Amino acid sequence: MENPDDSREMVRRVKEVVSKILGVPEVQLAPEDRFLQDLGADSLSMFELRLAIEKEFSFTFTEAEVSHLYSIGGLADFLDRASRP
């Protein structure tokens, strides 16, 4: 069973990284925010975000995984599931 506190912590950590890379204050970020459409990310900032997330979470994405991650909440959910044994 998923712990809601763990999910909220994952969203908080993802928002922290997104804020640093995209320059959007954390308080203005929401789980439903989409990187390209809502936050104005371009291909370079998406690459930088990928590298920062991989470093922060000690995780390496495959190209297929990256192509399906559109939002803060989606990324947090994915990382939460991937971090479980």
**pLDDT tens-digit map of 43-53:** 999 999 999 99
Cα separation of the two ends of the chain: 13
Structural domains of the chain sorted by starting position, each given as residue range(s) with its CATH number in brackets: 4-82 (1.10.1200.10)
Cβ 83 vs Cβ 6: under 8 Å: no
Q: Dump pLDDT digits (tens) for 4-44.
A: 678 899 999 999 999 999 999 999 999 999 999 999 999 99
The vertex-59 CA angle with 19 and 4, nearest 5°, equals 65
